[in-house]
Amino acid sequence: MLYEPQVVLDRLIELADEVKLEKTIDGVIYRDDYQDYQVILDDAFHCEIREKLIDIFMKDPKHGDTRREIVFLLMHPAEYEEWEEGPAVKPPSDIDIEID
């Protein structure tokens, strides 16, 4: 991990404010297996940004192609599906399990 998730979160929030992103950025999780940062938006959506792309953005926040790619990813996040584990998915606590 090149950058702590909180540092990436702060920088992405600044970018989101600049471009007037309609969704709120609620968190960033680094995924070592995928070498990317998962960005959580509105507690119901997510997008993945490659570690290398974040590295370029952190070193040169005005790099045009990098900014455009990150903004595109933030503007077109995927919604968490029921089967996915995500911050918006909370297991119901009142389900009875029956065993035959």
Q: Is residue 92 part of a domain?
A: no
The answer to whether residue 34 is domain-embedded is yes
In a domain? residue 63? yes
- pTM, 2 dp: 0.79
Q: Is residue 49 part of a domain?
A: yes
Residue 90: inside a domain, yes or no? no
Is residue 91 in a domain? no
Encode the chain (100 residues) as per-residue pLDDT tens digits.
Answer: 899 999 999 999 999 999 999 999 999 999 999 999 999 999 999 999 999 999 999 999 999 999 999 999 999 999 887 767 666 444 445 555 556 5
* Domain membership flag for residue 43: yes
Domain count, the chain: 1
10 inside domain: yes
Where do the DSSP E strands lie in the chain?
A: 25-31, 36-41, 45-50, 78-79
What angle, 0 to 180 degrees and rounded to 10, lies between the N-to-C axes of helices 51-59 and 5-19? Answer: 70
Q: Domain span at residue 10?
A: 5-79
